[in-house]
Structure 1
């Protein structure tokens, strides 16, 4: 993929979005396609290897430290589908299902809930696809466009650390987790403690360029501005996303985080579409699912991909919290 300053390539999207937002998927997903698929982002579930049930979170938090740690010493974490989750909570999976309703959460945004059989279910991530899911989707999407070698990927500029800026503070900070008794770590922390800048002694210091993942040229370059969302565009071949390790080859690979010890990672595209506009894929930052608009054949094919949990979505669907009228 290569950066593209020609943001006019995305003007057609703006013409097919609701502006102002109206509360349907068409706030962020273009209208005009025959059908839509909702690709559900995977959740996770924790259980005890012994098979004994875990307590509700409020009870676990109320325990003393030693007791709570003993209880979770044999904790096992596994991926969980939405169908698995609905079965565990006795709810119904359907195209408009909302996670909080599936897990019977009494409030919006509950990250973890305890199932009746004593397992901890954690909510799916929002705003991006797991690498292997994007690879699986790309393999199918290639068969439903006449221009697989000319696709545009859009990255929402609001991801932390993605773009640089002119200022006095860095684009982001890295947090440290480690043993405070470790001598090497303690020496490193003493060095950091003595190197903090004192802004009161440099009140006339001019703002300087603070680096992000992307170069200064890209950071200061043009944006595709859709309702409420600005995007940075890249162009290339869809095949570049077809392998599970596509993250390693993206120009927005997070090398600064890797330098701090993080695993290799590239943000998955917020937008993806081919030059022939046969389909469009949208991973909206606030959605726990990715929406693909295209032909009926494409949507049916996506819903059949192994290891991808997807459902056909009606036009004008609403995916906000409280829209699940089945699981009330």
Structure 2
């Protein structure tokens, strides 16, 4: 896994994304046949290991679980039904769990013609990315205020992706990933409760059966 200083492999992303909306197309280039929203697991905030599925909260809130579902909206609906929100839980923010991510990338690998030539982008919000930038590593920009470290690697390295310092390895999943052949595109963000993927209908159908909660969406779905 190595940092990239020339950004020709990423130029198509900035040219394709819809910078004016908060739809799937703001995060994933709207050039794919199908799209999927993977909902990050809902984890307890009381220190327990308890987890919930979005569908459970939606059912308790008397809501349909649709592609544009928002956690804030579910909480409000739940509170209306029950008088308050007493579940002491929130969605995992920023990335999938390691087991979920491994399952996702295993399925992506089977739909990748260039598994040894994939790209990942890590946001400058991470201090280690900012440190690399301060040391002279250039970052590529999307829009007026989003900067990323671009890394080229094998898709099989994603399970160990991250940054090592002082003998400690910090696992950090990418904000964006795509293969050289552009068969798919994966995106999330440090402040998002979902991971979004664009690809062929065959790929998205294979991802739906994974060990996580997901909803098919379109490029125009608000997230």
TM-score by length of 2: 0.87
Give the match for residue 148 of structure 1: 115
Instruction: Identify the structure with the greater strand proportion.
Output: 2
Give 5+ residue unaligned stretches, structure 2: none
Change (3 A) 1:118 1:13: closer
Residue 153 (structure 2) pairs with residue 250 (structure 1): no
Give the match for residue 238 of structure 1: 155
Compute the displacement of 1:148 (Å): 1.1
Give 5+ residue unaligned stretches, structure 1: 47-71, 107-112, 165-211, 259-263, 320-328
Give the match for residue 8 of structure 1: 8
Distance (Å, rounded) in 1 between the aligned partners of 2:186 and 2:217: 13
Whether contact under 8 Å (1:129, 1:283) holds in the other structure is no
Give the match for residue 136 of structure 1: 103
Return the match for 1:283 from 188, 201, 221: 188
Residue 135 (structure 2) pairs with residue 224 (structure 1): no
Distance (Å, rounded) in 2 between the aligned partners of 1:285 and 1:120: 23
> Which digits, 9 at most, give the CA deviation of each residue in 1:196-246, with x for residues without a partner?
xxxxxxxxxxxxxxxx4x5854xx2121211231110111111122xxxx3
Q: Aligned residues, how many?
A: 221
SS for the counterpart of 2:14 is helix
**Larger Rg, first or second structure (1 or 2):** 1
Return the match for 1:85 from 57, 60, 64: 57
Compute the displacement of 1:115 (Å): 8.6
Distance (Å, rounded) in 1 between the aligned partners of 2:38 and 2:183: 18
